Structure 1
Amino acid sequence: MRLAGKVILVTGGCTGIGRAIAKRCAEEGAKLVVNGLEEEVGKELVRELGSEKATLLSADITRPEVPDQLVQRALGTFGRLDAVVNNAAYIDFSNIKTTNAALMHQMFAVNAIAPVAIIQAALPYLSEARGCVLNIGSVNAWCGDPNLLAYSMSKGALMTMTRNLGDVLFREYGVRVNQVNPGWVLTGKEKEIKRKQGAPEDWFTKVPPVFAPAGRLLAPEEIAAAAVYWLSDESGPVSGQVVDLAQYPFIGRNLPEKLPSPI
C-alpha cells in the first residue's frame, strides 16, 4: 500500500473532495485525523473507516487554538504526523460590486490564513517524519470567474504560499509542499449550490461540452487519486509545485465567442 504507516491530517475531510481523499488514503494504508464542521457525517466516516484508522476533530480551523489541537490529536492518537492536507475551503459568490471587507476577511481566514497556521503547528513533526503538505486549491486561483472574486483571490494567496513554502520548508526542514488545483468537481456542495440557483436536479448531466469536454464533471475520487501521489514517497523530492487538475487548459484556452450557460 502506497501510504502504509503514514498519519495524515485532512481538513474539510467530512464531505466532498476531503472525504474522498480521507477514504482513499485509508485504503492506501494511512491513518487519518479528519477535521470538518459537519460532525455527524464526520462520525459516520470514522465508523466506516474504523476507529483504529481514523479520528474526528470537528472544529473551526480559523480559531487560534485549533491548529495545535489538530496536531496534538494526531500525536496523541497515532504517535506521529506525516502529512497535512489543507482542503477546507469557504466558497461564496461575489464580484467587484458585492465584495466587502467582512467577506474578504472570512474568505482569507479559512482559505489562506488557517492553512499557514496549521503548517506552523505541524512543522516540527512533519520535519521529524520528513513529511509533506498538500494544499487543495482551485483553477480559479489563476484569475477566476467574475462572480468568484474574493474566493479566487484567496486561492491565489494559497497558491503563492505553496510556491514560497515549497522552496523554504524543503531546503530547511525536509518538508515538501505542493498543491493541486481542481477544476469543476461534482461534489454534494456543488449540487446544493446549483439547486439554490434554480438549476434542475439533473443539471450536471447537461453541462455544455465547452465546460465539460468529457461529457461529465470531475469526481471527488479522481482528485483523491491524484492526492495519493503527492502524499506518498512516489513524488520523491518534488516540492513547490502547483498542478491543475481540469478537463481543459484553463490558461490560454480558445473559447467560442458566445458561451452557453454552464447550466
Structure 2
Amino acid sequence: MMNVVLITGAASGLGWELARACHARGDALVLTDINAAGLHERMAELGNEQIIGIAGDITDPQLHQQLIAACSERFGKLDVLINNAGITHRSPTIKTDPAVFRKVMAVDYHAPLELTLSALPLLRKAGGQIAAIGSMAGWMPVLGRAGYCAAKSALSQSFEVLRAEVARDGIGMLMVYPSFLDTPIDRNALGADGKPANHARSTIGNIRGADWMASQIIEALDKRQQRLFPDRGSWLASLLWRIAPAFYYRKMSARFAGEMA
C-alpha cells in the first residue's frame, strides 16, 4: 500500500532529497516550504499526481492545519511526518539581536513540535512514524551557534520525551543527528542582525551531501529505527565534550575562532 509522507522544508537541500527519494519509491507526498517559487519548481520537476505542495511559514499554526487537512482530505491518512525545515545563525551570542534567537527557536523547535502534535491523530490511525532532524550541535556547544544549539537541544529533549508517550499508540520516532551537511541551511545562515551571515562557516568532521543523508534516513525509517548517528566523527566529538570538556573547549575554540568576528 502506498505511504503518505509529509515533508517540511522540501524545496531545497535535505528536504528536497528526501522528497526525491520518497517519490522514487512510489510514496504520495505532501510538501511544504516557505519558498513558494522554489516549491512550485520542485512540484513541476516531480510531475506526479500523488503530490500536494503548500507553501507557507512553518511557524504558522494555520499552515499546520492546512497540511494535516491535505493529508486527510486527499489521501485519507498520514504514514510519515518528516520535520526537516530549519534555520541557523552564525554570530557571537553577545552581539546577536535577541530576535534572531527567537526566530531560530520558533523554526527549529516550536514549529516541529506543534506540527507533530497536530498530526498525531492521523499518525495514530496509521501506526505511522515521526522523523525529526536534530543536530549534534544539540549535544555539544559550538561557538557562534548559541541559538541553534539551544533550539536543537530543545527539539531533541522534547521529542525523546514524546517518543515514550506516542509509542503507546504504535507510533515510531526517528531522531536524526547529522553534523555538517552541504545544504542551504548554512548558506542561508543568519548573522547577528538577522541578515544573511557574511562570513564562511567553520566545521567539525566531514561535510556530507544531502542525497547521502536522505538515503540514510529512508533506510532508518524502513527499519523503524529510533536514532540515526550518521557521522562517526561528530558522534565522537559529542563524547569528548562529556568526557573531557576542557579539552573539547580548547579544540572547538580554535576551530571556530572565525565565528567570533
- 2:94 counterpart (68, 92, 97): 97
Q: Which residue of 2 aligns with 1:221?
A: 211
Identity of matched residues, %: 25
Unaligned runs of 5+ in 2: 191-195, 241-246
* 1:174 alignment partner AA: G
Q: 1:64 to 1:189 in 2, by over 3 A?
A: closer
User: Post-superposition shift, 1:15?
Assistant: 0.7
TM-score, scaled relative to structure 2 = 0.83
* 1:129 alignment partner AA: A
Cα RMSD after superposing both structures: 2.7
Secondary structure of the residue that 2:30 maps to in structure 1? Answer: strand
Contact persistence 2:141–2:149 (CA under 8 A): yes
Contact persistence 1:163–1:178 (CA under 8 A): no
Q: 1:262 to 1:182 in 2, by over 3 A?
A: farther
Contact persistence 1:134–1:230 (CA under 8 A): no
Q: Which residue of 1 aligns with 2:145?
A: 148
- 2:27 counterpart (27, 30, 33): 30
Distance 2:32 2:218 in 1: 18
User: Post-superposition shift, 1:94?
Assistant: 3.5
Distance 1:260 1:121 in 2: 40
Q: Which residue of 2 aligns with 1:43?
A: 40
Structure with bigger helix share is 2
Distance 2:162 2:188 in 1: 34
Where do 4+ consecutive residues of structure 1 move more than 4 Å?
Answer: 191-196, 253-263
Unaligned runs of 5+ in 1: none
- 2:170 counterpart (169, 174, 178): 174
Aligned pairs for 1:19-98 (under 5 A) are: 19-98=16-95
Contact persistence 2:135–2:178 (CA under 8 A): yes
Secondary structure of the residue that 1:245 maps to in structure 2? Answer: coil
Distance 1:262 1:98 in 2: 15
Distance 1:246 1:21 in 2: 18
User: Post-superposition shift, 1:64?
Assistant: 2.0
Q: Which residue of 2 aligns with 1:245?
A: 230
Contact persistence 1:21–1:224 (CA under 8 A): yes
- 1:108 counterpart (105, 110, 120): 105
Contact persistence 1:140–1:155 (CA under 8 A): yes
Aligned residues: 243
TM-score, scaled relative to structure 1 = 0.82
